[in-house]
A and B are shown apart, each in its own frame.
Chain A
Amino acid sequence: MNRIKKLFQEKKNILSIYYTAGYPNLSDTIKIAEALQKSGADILEIGFPYSDPVADGPVIQASSKQALDQGMTLKVLFEQLKDLRKHVTIPVLLMGYVNPVLQFGVENFCKACAEAGVDGCIVPDLPMAEYEEFYQECFEKHNLSNVFLITPQTTEERIHKIDGLTNSFIYLLSSSATTGKNLEVGNTTEAYFSRIKAMNLKNPTMIGFGISDKQTFDKACSYGNGAIIGTAFVKAIADGNLEESISSFMKKFRD
Chain B
Amino acid sequence: MKYKVNEKGYYGDFGGAYIPEMLYPNVEELRQNYLKIIADPEFQKEFHQLLKDYVGRPSPLYLAKRYSEKYGANIFLKREDLNHTGAHKINNTIGQILLAEKLGKKRIIAETGAGQHGVATATVCALRNLECVIYMGEVDIERQAPNVARMKMLGAKVVPASSGSKTLKDATNEAMRDWINNPVDTHYIIGSVVGPHPYPDMVAIFQSIISEETKKQLLEQTGSDQPDYVLACVGGGSNAMGMFYHFMDDEKVKLIAVEAAGKGVSSGFSAATTYLGKEGVLHGSRSILMQTEDGQVVEPHSVSAGLDYPGIGPQHAHLFKTGRGQYVSITDDESLEAGLLCTKLEGIIPAIESAHALAYLEKMEFKGGENVVVCLSGRGDKDLDTYIKYFNL
Contact = CB atoms under 8 A, between A and B. Distances in A.
Interface in A140-158: 148-151, 153-155, 158
Contacts of A124: 20-21
Interface residues of B, number: 33
A177 B181 contact: yes
Nearest to A100: B295
A76 B368 CA distance: 57
Contacts of A129: 8, 16-17
Interface stretch (B65-73, B100-108, B277-285, B343-351): B277-285
Interface residues of A, number: 40
Contacts of B295: 50, 74, 99-104
Interface string B16-29: 11111110110000
Contacts, number: 108
A178 B181 contact: yes
B296 A154 contact: no
B386 to A, nearest CB: 27
Nearest to B279: A102
Nearest to A57: B177
B177 A54 contact: yes
Most buried by B among A68, A130, A181: A130
B297 interface: yes
B365 interface: no
A51 B180 contact: no
Most buried by A among B19, B24, B184: B24
Nearest to B176: A54
A124 to B, nearest CB: 4
Interface string A73-87: 111000000000000
A155 B181 CA distance: 18
A100 to B, nearest CB: 4
A61 interface: yes
Interface in B230-281: 278-281
A103 B286 CA distance: 12
Interface string A43-66: 000000011111101000100010
A126 interface: yes
B22 A149 contact: yes
Contacts of B293: 73, 103
B280 A99 contact: yes
A130 B16 contact: yes
A61 B163 CA distance: 9
10 closest Cβ pairs, A-B complex = A103-B295, A100-B295, A73-B294, A176-B183, A149-B21, A51-B296, A124-B20, A153-B25, A99-B295, A54-B176
Interface of A: 50-55, 57, 61, 65, 68, 73-75, 97-104, 124-127, 129-130, 148-151, 153-155, 158, 173, 176-178, 181
23 contacts: A50-B295, A51-B296, A52-B169, A53-B173, A54-B180, A57-B177, A65-B163, A73-B296, A75-B294, A97-B281, A102-B280, A102-B281, A125-B20, A126-B18, A127-B24, A129-B8, A130-B18, A148-B21, A149-B20, A151-B22, A153-B25, A176-B183, A181-B181
Interface of B: 8, 16-22, 24-25, 163-164, 169, 173, 176-177, 180-181, 183-184, 278-284, 291, 293-297
